[in-house]
Amino acid sequence: MNVYLLGAGASKSYEISKTNERLPLAVDFFTTFNKLKISANGWVIISDLIGYVKDKRNISFSEFSKYNEDIEKLHTEIQEHYLEAISKKDNYDIYRYGRAYSQLISLFCSVINEIQNGDESEFHKNLVLGLDEDDVIITFNWDTLIDKSLRNNTDWTVKDGYSLSPEKVYCDRWVEGVASGTKNKLLKLHGSTNWISSYISYDFQEEKIAFQHAGSNELIYIYESTIKPYPCYDGRYMAGYEDFSMGYYPPNIPSIEDKRKVPDNHVVMQKIFRNGINPKGTSSSEGIVSLPIIIPPVKNKSYEFYGNLFPSIWKEAEDSLADADNIYVLGYSFPATDKPSTDLFKKAFSRRSSIPNVVIVNPNPDEIVHKFTFDFGIPKSNLRVFYDFITSEYVIQKNV
């Protein structure tokens, strides 16, 4: 059995986006965003995020179009301010930092959706065409390039291909997520831009960060495709997206019980500022407003917030790495902030009675080789190293 581990370098191979941009790294995220048409769209709500940058970086609203900073550093900083405000019960800061944090998640996913929106990736297509039936793909990426290639070229489906049990799947409407016997598994350890649940915000009554829906935090809906407009926040459906990609607002999840309670003799009122670039959308607003399920690029990642959703995926990844004959590390560099990924390999390899063969494809692989030999105990005789960038034409060398 083979395991293919995909990192940011694999997604960087995608070069046929409708935007003519490539998926960004942390250090060029905002530069990339400001090149996209979505950055001038009045429906994109980032006012609290811009306000944060203005207050903390002394960058004016008009200068935001030239702003650039490592998104991991910024997202981590906002998260820390948000959690500190909660610990101090500072309602004003809870509100503004919480909104900035959520807006950055939406913006992050939006940039990915914009750039992955295009024809199928040649690299990912070639990868899946070479899969054996029991091969597993593990990825730390949030994009859906590999998802699309799996769906297009194998028996893989979103209904059970992620090793999850989605409540429903969106294929032009919400349908039941019934298992179909998918053979290859795609394990997305940091979530995905097409996984969604209800919006997350601070519940001032319960004094904790919470979902808007009632019930389990593990509740997950999966988006695949649409032909007609779907219901979303303020009816702001955006057309022109390929399968597995969507506009800034994902579809609202079906009208299950809304967790927010309205006291007797009270009503909920919401004011949405309107101007020439922020008209009301024309699609429906029914259902509960949603947000992508991702573990954002922050230093302290909160996997447990989604109940057993992520622990179950990580456990399956560990099992796969413990059983694999061959492991292909494609464009992943084990960044220092991803300590859980190092722990994952250590735990998996500690269970092994044999030594796997490992193929590393990376333009700067020396530190990765060091990690495999000294941290994971893989002898150099079991390593094959390719000092390569992954391009759209790259073909994986499988003779390990």
pLDDT at 268 > cutoff 50: no
Per-residue CA distances from 7 to 20, 85, 289, 359, 398 (Å):
21, 33, 30, 14, 18
pLDDT at 265 > cutoff 60: no
Provide the pLDDT for residue 337: 73
Provide the pLDDT for residue 48: 96
pLDDT at 159 > cutoff 50: yes
Provide the pLDDT for residue 205: 87
Q: Which residues contact 171 (CB under 8 A, 6 or more apart)?
A: 224, 225, 226
pLDDT averaged over every residue in the chain: 92
**% of residues, the chain, pLDDT over 70:** 94
pTM: 0.93
Provide the pLDDT for residue 215: 85
pLDDT at 211 > cutoff 70: yes
pLDDT digits (tens, 9 = 90+) for 6-48: 999 999 999 999 999 999 999 999 999 999 999 999 999 999 9
Residue 268: both structure tokens together: 């909920």
Which letter does DSSP use for residue 195 in this model?
E
For the segment 157-165, the average pLDDT, to the nearest whole number, is 94
Which letter does DSSP use for residue 172 in this model?
S
pLDDT digits (tens, 9 = 90+) for 98-127: 999 999 999 999 999 999 999 999 999 999
Confidence band, pLDDT 50/70/90 cuts, at residue 133:
very high
Positive or negative, the Cα torsion across 210, 214, 217, 223? negative
Look at 60 and 320; give whichever has higher pLDDT. Answer: 320
Look at 235 and 277; give whichever has higher pLDDT. Answer: 235
pLDDT digits (tens, 9 = 90+) for 378-396: 999 999 999 999 999 998 9
Host H or E run for residue 221? strand 221-225
Provide the pLDDT for residue 283: 96
